[in-house]
Structures are given as C-alpha cells and as structure tokens.
C-alpha cells in the first residue's frame, strides 16, 4: 500500500506494507546481544502466593516482568542525558519521528590496535547529500554475530572524534549504528564521539539522538530511506526503540 508524505516541502512516496525493521529484540530463549559486563535480560511471570501468573499454569492471563538495561540488551535510542549530570529524557527531547536517512556500509579501518570509523570514510559515503539521519552498517555483517554478540571486553569498532564532529557539522541529527557504542569500550571516560556529536562543549544539541545495537540486513541496499524512529515512552536518558526504514519510491 503506497502512501505519500510531505516532508520539508518534499513529497515522498513509500510503500507502507514493506517496512524494514532494523531493531534487535530481547529474546530470552536465544543468545541475544549483550554489552557492558552485566547479566542477560530476564522475562519471567509475576508470582502471587507462590503461584505463577501464567495461563499455562491456570491463571486467566500471562503477567510477565521484564528486567533489562537498554544500553546493554536491546536496540535503544539515547539523548545527551546519557552523559550529562542532569538526566535529560529522550522521551521529552525527541519530538519528531520521521526523517530522511542515508544507509551506508563501512568497513572499519585498523589504526593503533583498534578498528575505527573515520571522517574520510563517511565523507566518501555521504558526499554532499543532505540528510537528517545516517544509518551505519559495519562489515563484516553476519546476522548471527550482530544479533547475538557478547561485546564485553572485545574492544569493538567505534567512531573517531573527528567523525562525530563531521556528522554534527553536516547537520546529522540522528545517528544509528550497529555497535554497542559510538565510543571505544574503555577510553578512560572520555566519550569523545558522544560529546562531539551532542556538542557538550558548546550549544548542546538536545534534539539529537544516537541509536545503538541496530542490525541492517545485507539485503538492504545503501541509499536514501524514510526513517521512522519509534521509541518506547520511558522518561530516561535512553529507551528501547524500533527504527523502521521505508524505501523511497519517488
């Protein structure tokens, strides 16, 4: 089913029956992504008087608790409150949910013992394109790895500070990556890419977001898409999210 959306004075046609889900879900029955040195998430039934609230055990409803950390266990979207003393809420600062996004594929470069995403790589991919969001797919891109990787103590790829500055200066408001963080796993607390992207040393970009732990299938071509950045309404620095891409038909 085709729909036409007017976005920044531009008419964009998409097929709403063909969403491309780039989120990673919590599934306690499978090995899911995990980072930052904590246990796996848990989904379990509430108990009253030592009886589990499960239909299979005689209850009239299923009534589960979920214990998780958005930064460690699921696709999540965060705002600058992730790194500021005052905990700003992403739910309060993300006010719009549709954006024109560019999907790009990058093979991180090996520098000084780390795999990094450089400014030059993104300049080559984005050139003079004007986008609100950029979706970065890193290589290699095996589904089993991206959806089940145990990232703690693996020093995964990350963005250089120069790369985050470039994205900020280019006007990118929403950065989506298939990594546990845009920064190095252990950097002594500098968080150079986070700070640069949100411009914490200047006028803070309160409406800018970073989404981590996405997965973009190899079947999805690089190029321009309409992004629907859906978030759960948690008043927190980060919240589980479900980013959806739509191919732009015209």
The answer to whether residues 98 and 250 touch, using CB atoms and an 8 Å cutoff, is: no
Tokens 């980013």 identify what position? 243
Q: Judge whether 213 lies within some domain.
A: yes
- Number of residues assigned to the chain: 250
pLDDT at 9: 87
Q: Judge whether 48 lies within some domain.
A: no
Reported as type and span, the H/E element at residue 168 is helix 161-170
Q: Judge whether 175 lies within some domain.
A: yes
pLDDT at 220: 98
With a cut of 90, say whether residue 246 has pLDDT above it: yes
Asked whether the bond before 140 is cis by omega within 30 degrees of 0, the reply is yes
pLDDT in tens, 7-31: 888 999 999 999 999 999 999 888 8
Q: Judge whether 76 lies within some domain.
A: yes
Q: 98 burial class (0-12, 13-18, 19+ CB within 10 angstroms)? A: middle
The answer to whether residues 102 and 223 touch, using CB atoms and an 8 Å cutoff, is: yes
With a cut of 90, say whether residue 173 has pLDDT above it: yes
pLDDT in tens, 59-114: 999 999 999 999 999 999 999 999 999 989 999 999 999 999 999 999 999 999 99
Q: Judge whether 236 lies within some domain.
A: yes
With a cut of 90, say whether residue 1 has pLDDT above it: no
Q: Judge whether 60 lies within some domain.
A: no
pLDDT at 5: 87
| Tally of domains in the chain | 1
Whole domain around residue 111: which residue ranges? 2-27+70-247
Q: What is the CATH classification number for the domain harbouring 171?
A: 3.50.30.50
- What are residue 65's phi and psi, to 5 degrees? -95, 150
Share of the chain above pLDDT 90, in %: 93
pLDDT at 156: 98
* Mean pLDDT value of segment 210-221: 98
* Mean pLDDT value of segment 186-211: 98
Cα(68)–Cα(142) distance, integer angstroms: 24
pTM, rounded to two decimals? 0.97
């Amino acid at each position: 089913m085709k729909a036409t959306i007017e976005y920044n004075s531009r008419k964009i046609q998409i097929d709403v029956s063909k969403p491309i889900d780039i989120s990673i879900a919590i599934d306690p029955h499978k090995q899911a992504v995990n980072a930052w040195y904590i246990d796996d998430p848990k989904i379990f039934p509430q108990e009253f008087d030592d009886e589990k609230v499960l239909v299979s055990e005689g209850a009239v409803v299923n009534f589960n608790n979920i214990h998780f950390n958005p930064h460690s266990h699921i696709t999540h979207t965060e705002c600058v409150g992730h790194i500021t003393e005052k905990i700003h809420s992403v739910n309060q600062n993300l006010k719009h949910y549709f954006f024109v996004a560019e999907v790009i594929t990058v093979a991180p470069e090996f520098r000084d013992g780390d795999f990094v995403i450089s400014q030059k790589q993104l300049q080559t991919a984005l050139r003079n394109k004007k986008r609100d969001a950029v979706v970065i797919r890193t290589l290699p891109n095996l589904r089993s790895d991206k959806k089940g990787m145990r990232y703690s103590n693996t020093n995964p790829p990350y963005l250089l500070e120069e790369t985050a500055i470039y994205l900020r200066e280019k006007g990118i408001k929403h950065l989506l990556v298939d990594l546990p963080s845009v920064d190095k796993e252990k950097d002594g607390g500098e968080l150079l890419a986070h700070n640069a992207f949100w411009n914490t040393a200047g006028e803070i970009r309160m409406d800018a977001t970073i989404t981590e732990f996405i997965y973009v299938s190899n079947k999805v071509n690089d190029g321009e898409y309409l992004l629907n950045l859906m978030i759960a309404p948690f008043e927190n620095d980060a919240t589980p999210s479900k980013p959806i891409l739509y191919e732009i038909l015209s």
